[in-house]
Each structure stands twice: as structure tokens, then as C-alpha cells.
Amino acid sequence: MDSMNEENDEYGDIVSSAPKRMRCRISSVWSDFEILPKGSNGKERAKCKKCQNSFVAGTSGTTSLLHHREKCYQVDNQSVSRQPLDQATYREMVALAIIRHNYPFSFAEHENNRLLHCYLNPDVKTICRNTTKSDVIKIYRREKENLKHDLKSITGRFCLTSDLWSSPNTDEYMVLTAHYVDEH
């Protein structure tokens, strides 16, 4: 035993007089709080870096700091103005993603896809595969009418090229390509 760092207390028990080792601060909460020097009452305090409020820290643990951080972030997030969700635009964007990437209509019902959309905007009303199918057909009809209008407005001629082929599983395809010069 090292008698230099030990002494007897009033009950005769040996007590170490060596300085206590500081515990490592591993909680994620410490990135949002600044440790203040001990106050007159000898308790360690921590100050929130966002709102500058101070709280007792150290012996009481980090629970109160964690609760404050959640409230502080909620107030911060509520102050950010968010544009209201346009459900029609959301539905069209899902349909365009399905068209562009050749996803199945059931993509709109995939659980993680729905969770992502709800996370990004809690006001979203998720849609089913039948709604998605009708949205895709609506886009098809709209684009078909746009193409008809564009072809009618061409002042010159256009050239059509077609190609036919069949896949190994006997599905047959035909592609029609139009070449033309417009005002652009």
C-alpha cells in the first residue's frame, strides 16, 4: 500500500486522497452542450449551445440534457417554415419515377418507400398501386395529346422509321421513330 495517497477517515477506514479520475464523456449530448465551471454549490453545470440555458450536469447523468435537446430541436424545427404539400404534385412525381425507372406500380406501396415519404413530409397521404396506375395512364394520355399538338404544328415534313423485333420469350415489339425539324 502506498501510504502517501491514503489516509484514515473518522471511522478508521482507509480513504484515498489521490485526485478522482474524470469520467470520459461519451454521450452524444455533449456536442450540443458546453461544460461550465462548478458553481458556488459545487455542482457542475452545462450550457445549451443553442438557447444558452444552463442545467445541472455530471452526477445526475445526461437524461435532463437529452430531454432539453429534443425540445430545443423541436422548437428550432417548428420555426422553419415549410411549404404545404401539394398532393397532386406528389402523386405525379411518384408516377413519373415509376415511368422513368420502369418500376412496378406496387413501388408506391413499398414499405420503406412510404416511410421515406412520411419522414420527408408527415402530411403526405401515401397512395396505392391502383391510384398510381391511373396517374401513369393520365400522364400517358397527356403526353400523347402534347405529341399530337407538336406534330400538327410542324410546318415541314417528318420522316417515320419503324423497327420490329421479338424477345426470346416470344414478346413482340414495334418501335416508331419520327424525325423532323421544328422552329427550335
Angle at 146 between CA 143 and CA 150, to 5 degrees: 140
Report the C-alpha gap between 20 and 104 in whole angstroms.
63
| Residue 164: predicted pLDDT | 94
DSSP string, 145-168: HHHHHHHHT--S-EEEEEEEEE-T
Q: Which three cell numbers stand for residue 40?
A: 458556488
DSSP string, 57-124: -STT-SHHHHHHHHHHHHHHHHHS--PPP-HHHHHHHHHHHHHHHT--GGGGG-HHHHHHHHHH-TT-
Dihedrals φ, ψ of 150, to 5°? Answer: -60, -40
Give the DSSP letter of residue 179. E
Report the C-alpha gap between 69 and 51 in whole angstroms.
10
Domain ranges of the chain: 21-79, 87-156
CB 139 within 8 A of CB 153: no
For the chain of 184 residues, list the mean pLDDT of each consecutive stretch of 10: 52 53 66 76 78 74 77 58 83 96 94 90 89 96 93 86 91 91 78
Q: Which three cell numbers stand for residue 163?
A: 423497327
Give the pTM.
0.51
Maximum CA extent, the chain = 109
